[in-house]
C-alpha cells in the first residue's frame, strides 16, 4: 500500500540493506514531501505485520536468495570467501541471510527486531533537493520528532584487537560448478575503512584502487588485458564505507587458452612490483583527477548524493568528512599510496583467494 500511494503521487520508492544499515527512500515532488515523511514516521512506529504478510515476505526473500545466490556460482563463492575472511565477525554473514536462518525466522523475531531498532533516535534523515534546512526542520520535528525514543542497543564494535578475525593465514578456496563457463580468480584482503582507519590509509586506498582497477586506465586491465592479452577482465575494488573493517579486492578472468596459474602469477607479479617499487607520481595524479571528477558527476544526481551521505553517516563518518573528501584525495601523496599498498596487499596472511572453475571434464 505504501508504494502504491507514492506511485499515485508521481513518485518512486525503494529500500535496501547493507551489512551495517537499512535504507528507505523516495523520489517525490516537493509538495508531496510532507506526505511521505508522515508515512515513513508511521512506518517507523506503527508497523502492522500479520502472520500472512510475514510468511509472504519471507518467501519472497527465500526466492530472491535462490535466484541471486544459490543459482549464481560467483555469489556462492563470495559467501565462502566472506566466511573465511571474517571469522566470527558479523560481516561473515551474507546480507540476505542463510537459508536455515530464513526458515527458522518467525513473525515474533521480526517484530522484536523492529521494536529494538526502529526509532527516530536510531535513524538518519537525508533530504536532497530544492528545500532549505529552515523549511525541513519543523517538518521533521512534526513527523519524526513526535515519535517516542527507544532504548536501542549500542552497536557492537569488534575492531580491536582484531579479536573477531581468524588467526592470520593465507586461505585458498576452489569451487567447481557446472554453470561456470568463464573461470575467474579473486582475492580479498582485510583493510581499513573510512570510519575505522587508525593509520590514516583510507584515502590512499581509494587512490590505490583507482590506480589498479580504474577501468581501462587501471594497471591490471591495461597490463593484463590490453598489453599482454592474458585476461578478458582484471581489476580491483575497495569497500571503505563500513562501520568496522573494510576490504580490498583483486580479480581477473583468463582469456581462452591461458592457464589460470599463469594469470595468477601475472597478477602476483603486478602486486609484487607495486610493493617493491611503489606507485609513480603521474599515475597518482591521474587517479586523483579521475576520482574527483567522478564526484562532480555524482553530485549532478540528487539520489546518488543523498545515498552517499546517508551511507557515510550510518557507518561512522561525519558531514565534515564527506565534504572534505575531495581536498583529502587531492592531498594524498605517492608515498602514502605505496605505504597503504604494502600495509594491505602485503598481508597475504589477511587475505582469502578464490577460484571459480568449470566442472572437470569426465
The answer to whether the CB of 350 falls within 8 A of the CB of 190 is yes
pLDDT of residue 206: 98
Nearest-angstrom CA–CA distance, 340 and 229: 29
54 lies in some domain: yes
Same domain, 176 and 137: no
Task: Centre a 10 Å sphere on the Cβ of residue 313 and count the other Cβ atoms it contains.
Answer: 17
Number of domains in the chain: 2
308 lies in some domain: yes
Same domain, 113 and 230: no
Same domain, 112 and 29: yes
3-state class (DSSP) for residue 188? strand
Domain termination site, one of 131, 146, 161 = 146
Please report, to the nearest 10 degrees, the dihedral formed by the alpha carbons of residues 339, 343, 348, 349 taken in order. Answer: 160
Same domain, 91 and 194: no
331 lies in some domain: yes
- Write down the residue that cell numbers 530544492 correspond to: 130
Pair type for strands 171-177 and 231-239: unpaired
- DSSP 3-state helix, strand, coil percentages of the chain (rounded to 5)? 55, 15, 30
187 lies in some domain: yes
Angle ∠(353,280,238) on CA atoms, nearest 5: 35
pLDDT of residue 196: 86
155 lies in some domain: no
Same domain, 209 and 81: no
pLDDT of residue 52: 97
- Cell digits of residue 341: 599498498
pLDDT of residue 79: 97
pLDDT of residue 340: 98
What residues have CB less than 8 Å from 329, skipping those under 6 apart? 203, 206, 207, 288, 291, 292
pLDDT in tens, 71-94: 999 999 999 999 999 988 889 999
pLDDT of residue 161: 43
Same domain, 125 and 209: no
Nearest-angstrom CA–CA distance, 276 and 338: 9
Same domain, 197 and 271: yes
Q: Which residues of the chain have pLDDT under 70?
A: 156-164, 298-299, 362
**What would the DSSP string read from start to end of 121-144?**
GG------SS--HHHHHHHHHHHG
pLDDT in tens, 230-239: 999 999 999 9
Same domain, 96 and 201: no
Same domain, 94 and 221: no
Q: Give the residue among 13, 256, 22 at the shortest CA–CA distance from 123.
A: 22
Same domain, 119 and 176: no
Burial 12-30 (b: 16+ CB within 10 A, else e): ebeeeeebbbebebbbbee
Burial 40-65 (b: 16+ CB within 10 A, else e): bbeebbeeeeeeeebeeebeeebeeb
What residues have CB less than 8 Å from 267, skipping those under 6 apart? 185, 187, 220, 224, 234, 250, 252
Q: Residue 127: give the domain boundaries.
A: 2-146
99 lies in some domain: yes
Q: Tell me the whole-structure pTM to 2 decimals.
A: 0.92
Q: Give the residue among 155, 158, 153, 154 at the shortest CA–CA distance from 92.
A: 158
E strand segments, 114-209: 171-177, 184-191
The answer to whether the CB of 20 falls within 8 A of the CB of 315 is yes
- Cell digits of residue 79: 559467501
The answer to whether the CB of 266 falls within 8 A of the CB of 113 is no
20 lies in some domain: yes
Pair type for strands 171-177 and 351-358: parallel
CATH number at residue 34: 3.30.830.10
326 lies in some domain: yes
Same domain, 196 and 271: yes
Nearest-angstrom CA–CA distance, 46 and 248: 40
Same domain, 230 and 126: no
pLDDT of residue 257: 96
Amino acid at each position: 500500500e505504501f508504494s502504491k500511494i507514492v506511485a499515485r503521487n508521481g513518485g518512486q520508492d525503494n529500500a535496501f540493506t547493507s551489512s551495517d544499515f537499512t535504507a528507505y527512500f523516495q523520489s517525490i515532488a516537493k509538495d508531496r514531501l510532507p506526505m511521505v515523511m508522515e508515512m515513513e514516521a508511521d512506518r517507523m512506529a506503527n508497523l502492522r505485520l500479520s502472520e500472512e504478510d510475514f510468511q509472504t515476505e519471507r518467501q519472497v526473500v527465500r526466492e530472491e536468495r535462490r535466484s541471486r545466490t544459490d543459482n549464481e556460482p560467483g555469489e556462492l563463492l563470495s559467501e565462502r570467501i566472506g566466511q573465511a575472511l571474517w571469522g566470527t565477525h558479523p560481516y561473515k554473514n551474507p546480507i540476505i541471510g542463510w537459508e536455515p536462518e530464513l526458515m527458522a525466522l518467525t513473525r515474533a523475531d521480526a517484530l522484536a527486531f523492529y521494536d529494538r531498532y526502529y526509532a527516530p533516535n536510531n535513524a538518519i534523515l537525508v533530504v536532497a533537493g530544492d528545500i532549505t534546512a529552515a523549511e525541513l526542520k519543523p517538518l521533521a520535528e512534526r513527523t519524526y520528532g513526535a515519535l517516542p525514543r527507544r532504548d536501542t542497543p549500542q552497536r557492537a564494535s569488534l575492531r580491536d584487537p582484531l579479536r573477531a578475525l581468524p588467526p592470520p593465514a593465507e586461505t585458498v578456496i576452489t569451487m567447481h560448478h557446472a554453470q561456470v563457463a568463464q573461470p575467474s580468480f579473486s582475492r580479498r584482503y582485510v583493510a581499513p575503512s573510512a570510519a575505522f582507519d587508525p593509520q590514516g590509509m583510507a584515502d590512499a586506498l581509494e587512490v590505490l584502487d583507482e590506480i589498479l582497477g580504474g577501468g581501462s586506465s587501471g594497471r591490471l586491465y591495461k597490463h593484463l588485458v590490453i598489453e599482454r592479452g592474458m585476461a578478458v577482465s582484471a581489476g580491483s575494488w575497495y569497500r571503505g564505507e563500513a562501520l568496522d573493517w573494510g576490504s580490498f579486492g583483486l580479480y581477473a578472468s583468463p582469456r581462452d587458452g591461458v592457464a589460470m596459474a599463469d594469470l595468477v602469477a601475472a597478477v602476483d607479479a603486478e602486486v609484487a612490483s607495486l610493493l617493491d617499487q611503489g606507485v609513480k607520481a603521474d599515475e597518482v595524479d591521474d587517479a586523483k583527477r579521475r576520482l574527483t571528477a567522478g564526484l562532480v558527476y555524482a553530485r549532478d544526481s540528487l539520489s546518488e548524493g543523498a545515498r552517499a551521505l546517508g551511507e557515510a553517516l550510518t557507518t561512522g563518518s561525519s558531514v565534515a568528512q564527506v565534504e572534505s573528501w575531495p581536498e583529502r584525495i587531492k592531498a594524498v601523496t605517492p608515498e602514502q599510496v605505496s605505504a597503504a599498498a604494502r600495509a594491505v596487499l602485503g598481508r597475504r596472511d589477511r587475505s582469502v583467494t578464490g577460484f571459480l572453475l568449470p566442472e572437470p571434464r569426465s
